[in-house]
Chain A
Amino acid sequence: MVWVFTGRENGALLEIVNVSRHFDTFVALDKVSLHIEAGEFFTLLGPSGCGKTTLLRLIAGFDQPDGGDILLDGKSIIAVPPEDRPLHTIFQNYALFPHMTVAENIAFPLRMARVAKQDIRTRVAEALEDVRLPDKGNQYPDALSGGQKQRIAIARALVNRPRLLLLDEPLSALDAKLREQMQIELIDLQKDIGITFIYVTHDQGEALALSHRIAVMDHGRIIQVDEPSRLYGYPGSRFVADFIGKCNLLDGKVSEQQGSRVTVELDGLGSVYVSGLETQFAVGSRCALTLRPEKIRISRSSAIPGASDTLSSPADPSPLSSFDGESHFPGYVHDMLYLGDVTVYNVTLANGVLLETLLANSASGRTNFFEIGDQVEVAWSCDAGHLVLD
């Protein structure tokens, strides 16, 4: 199942049409098509080697596609050299020119565009002001911290107002705290200037936090393009479910569909309802139920009176283990990870599958609700999960 972005397709700022790129026998990009709208914060997300950086380099003009076309404002830019494309790139290691001062670095694109000398001076000063480093103009890049280099790279790339800004894992060289701060700055910056951002990252958390839309890539193909919350809540495939955030995948078979509600027989567990589905599923097809750890409730077995009522074993699959609302399954705590804010409990279900669940540590004193080996019950509501077909 492929999610297709249907809105605003006419008049896209950047259109990528069936673009392919091969390196000898390795297929880096396999007929990739994308539409990116003006003003969008668009992210290419995928594991290393998925082709996201290759695609970015094709857009920037550092590399040529073997097939397909790239259109900017409806005009092909394939034959346009990088210096004539109205877009700039933020490189992973910032690529500030070490032999030029910060001010000279920012002046570089203006100088190349033959902007008058006095104008260059005022615009460089403004750019430094914008990134809140007004007194760093005379320093050399070596004297700057990682975060400062990052800001100068952004100032340099934005000083002559490109149509598009390409960002190649720009935060990967920063430490966690600074990265979070820069993420907020990037969001604000993009909102302020309204320039389209195309952002490449392998960090799904970063992608979810920053983007208007995300294209998930793998093995040179686009797997799914969607808004972050839809990508997280309604993954279109096992790969996306697994790659975006943490996700439990319970294998099963579609046994019935009534409107948006599907009955799924989970292997070795029994039947559950899954509601809120938008597509039609063929009865009998293999599928997997995706369940995010935070959407699963975990409680002590004894807390539920007559727990055996909701028990379902493979030997006795006939009664639905779920009533209209919640599904309940017994299990025991296999292992746990105390993470401070939450504790992760991995629960072994009757069919031997490990289910990852989360419990917020709401009180500061009590850290462990359960011990390893405790009999517990896990439950989720029928609209908590989503179905992906194999």
Chain B
Amino acid sequence: MMAKKNLLLTVSAGLVYLFLYLPLVIVVVFSFNDSKLNAEWVGFTWKWYGKLLYNQEMLTAAMNSLIIASVSAGIATILGTLAGIAMHQYRLRLLQMLVLAPIAMPEILMGVSLLVLFIMVNMTLGLISIMLAHITFCIGFVALAVQARISSLDPALIEAARDLGATPWQCFREVTLPLLMPGILAGALMAFTLSIDDFVITFFTAGVGSSTLPLQIYSMVKIAVTPEVNAVSTLLMLVTLVVITVASRLSPAIFRGE
């Protein structure tokens, strides 16, 4: 009876994972297929990855993505950390809502409203506008990661630092910041992956010549899903996977939803 139940559970879990990951597996597999068509397996090859290196548009897009992700994640980490600390210290409902709303907001809404804003203030769409947009939606994730870390800390540690002679600033630098570091790093890595993968908001806030990797893939797919697209998607997947794994090691709490 017990074994039967376990079997059922295993099978259903397997089906769910299959449903989630089969499309990704297909992309990875066909990125190594020695054929221009995504139809049947012909043979193994690295050539599509090699071709990527000579695709100037793709390289520019990848560079843009890296710059945008690094800068946005960096700035969002600083702002998000401060927001996370403030959320913990002041426990204001409104503050919490304002910081976290962009996480729950439909991306299309964020995209459209940011576009309207940028046009209103007469801002040229380009790398800067994309970065500003990415910072906006990344702050909430960093704040969440930092807040999760703070609430797991013993508040007596901060008081102990003051008690032992540390000024508020020394206390922050010597005790609070080092103890929050795992949460901050996890938040930064999450922000990085969110930024590098984003399509919808980037689509609305990008200008001519500021294409990112997801936008580039999209424009290529409009013609056909070439093996080259599969290859670049596989690489993007790999980067995301590595970063998320590192982040989850640093701050298990937020990935357990605590």
- A residues neighboring B (CB under 8 Å): 60-62, 81-84, 88-89, 91-93, 95, 97-99, 108-109, 112-113, 156-157, 160
Residues 88-115 of B contacting A (Cβ, < 8 Å): none
Cα of A81 to Cα of B175 in the assembled complex, Å: 18
A residues less than 8 Å from B156 (CB atoms):
91-93, 95
Q: A62-B159, A99-B178 are in contact. Are A83 and B165 (CB under 8 A)?
A: yes
B166 interface contact, C-beta 8 A: yes
> CB within 8 Å of A: which of B150-164?
154, 156-157, 159-164
Indicate whether B170 reaches chain A with its CB closer than 8 angstroms: yes
A-chain residues with CB within 8 Å of residue B157 when the two chains form the complex: 95, 97-98
- Does B179 sit at the interface, judged by CB under 8 A? yes
Residue in B162, B163, B178, B179 whose Cβ sees the most chain A Cβ within 10 Å: B163
When distances are taken between beta carbons in the complex, the residues of chain B under 8 Å from A62 are 159, 162-163
Partner of B154, one of A81, A95, A113: A95
State whether B154 touches A82 (Cβ < 8 A).
no
Q: Are B166 and A97 in contact (CB under 8 A)?
A: no
Q: How far is the CB of A114 from chain B (nearest CB, A)?
A: 9
User: Is B167's CB within 8 Å of the partner chain A?
Assistant: yes
Complex Cα–Cα for A157 and B164 (A): 7
Cβ distance A287 to chain B, nearest Cβ, rounded Å? 44
A sample of 30 cross-chain residue pairs with beta-carbon separation below 8 angstroms, ordered by A number, consists of A60-B163, A61-B162, A62-B159, A81-B162, A83-B162, A88-B163, A88-B164, A89-B160, A91-B159, A91-B160, A92-B156, A95-B154, A95-B156, A95-B159, A97-B160, A97-B175, A97-B179, A98-B157, A98-B179, A99-B175, A99-B178, A108-B164, A108-B174, A109-B164, A109-B165, A112-B165, A112-B170, A156-B164, A157-B164, A160-B165
Minimal beta-carbon separation of A59 from chain B (angstroms): 11
Question: B165 to chain A: which residues have CB within 8 Å?
Answer: 83-84, 108-109, 112-113, 160
Other A-B contacts than A61-B163, A112-B165, A112-B166, 8 sampled, CB-CB below 8 A, are A89-B159, A89-B160, A91-B156, A95-B154, A95-B160, A98-B179, A108-B166, A157-B164
Bound complex: CA A384 to CA B91 (Å): 56
Residues of A within 8 A of B154 (CB): 93, 95
Q: Which residues of B does A touch, CB under 8 Å?
A: 154, 156-157, 159-167, 170, 174-175, 178-179
Complex interface: chain A residues within 8 A of B167 (CB): 81, 83
Closest to A88 in B: B163
Give complex CA distance A88, B162 in Å: 10
Question: Please, how many angstroms separate the alpha-carbon atoms of A302 and B167 in the complex?
Answer: 74
Expressed in whole angstroms, the minimum distance between the Cβ of A153 and any Cβ of chain B is: 9
The complex places the Cα of A81 from the Cα of B163 at a distance, in Å, of 9
Nearest 5 CB-CB pairings of A with B = A112-B165, A95-B160, A95-B156, A109-B164, A82-B162
Contact yes or no, A83 B175, CB < 8 A: no
The minimal Cβ–Cβ distance linking A58 to chain B, given in whole angstroms, is 13
> For B159, what are the chain A residues with a Cβ–Cβ distance below 8 Å?
60, 62, 82, 89, 91, 95
The answer to whether A83 touches B163, judged by C-beta atoms less than 8 angstroms apart, is yes
Of B163, B170, B174, B175, the residue contacting A89 (CB under 8 A) is: B163
Taken together as a complex, chains A and B put the C-alpha atoms of A89 and B157 apart, in Å, by 11
Report A390 CB to chain B, min CB distance, Å.
41
Note all chain A residues with C-beta closer than 8 A to B166.
83, 108, 112
Question: How long is the Cα–Cα vector from A318 to B253 in the complex, in angstroms?
Answer: 75
- Residues of A close to B175: CB separation below 8 A: 97, 99
How far in angstroms is the closest Cβ of chain A from B158? 9
Report the nearest B residue to A166, measured CB to CB: B163
Name which residue of chain A comes closest to B171, CB basis: A83
Question: In the complex, A95→B179 CA distance in Å?
Answer: 13
Residues of the A chain whose Cβ atoms lie less than 8 Å from the Cβ of B164? 83, 88, 108-109, 112, 156-157
Contacts of B170 in A (CB 8 A): 112
- Assembled-state Cα–Cα distance A84/B166 (Å): 9
Q: How far is the CA of A72 from the CA of B166 in the complex (A)?
A: 20
Give, as a whole number of angstroms, the nearest-CB distance from A104 to chain B: 10
Residues of B within 8 A of A113 (CB): 165
Q: Which of B160, B162, B164 has the most CB of A within 10 A?
A: B164
Contacts of A98 in B (CB 8 A): 157, 179
A82 to B168 alpha-carbon distance, docked (Å):
10
Question: What residues of B have a CB within 8 angstroms of the CB of A112 in the complex?
Answer: 164-166, 170
Q: How many angstroms from the CA of A117 to the CA of B156 in the assembled complex?
A: 27
Please, how many angstroms separate the alpha-carbon atoms of A92 and B164 in the complex? 16
Q: Provide the bound-state CA to CA distance between A114 and B211, in Å.
A: 53
Cα separation A128 to B175 with both chains bound (whole Å): 22
- Tell which of A82, A84, A89, A109 has the most Cβ of chain B within 10 Å: A82
What separation, in Å, do the CA atoms of A156 and B157 have in the docked complex?
13
User: What's the nearest-Cβ distance from chain B to residue A109, in Å?
Assistant: 4
Q: B162 — nearest CB in chain A belongs to which residue?
A: A82
> In the complex, A156→B165 CA distance in Å?
12
Cβ-closest chain B residue relative to A87: B163
Q: Which residues of the other chain, B, contact A95 by a CB distance below 8 angstroms? A: 154, 156-157, 159-160
C-alpha spacing A112/B166, complex, angstroms: 6
User: Which residue of chain B has its CB nearest to the CB of A99?
Assistant: B178
What is the bound-complex CA distance between A176 and B167, given in angstroms?
37
B163 touches A82 (CB 8 A): yes
What residues on A are CB-neighbors of B161 within 8 Å? 97, 108
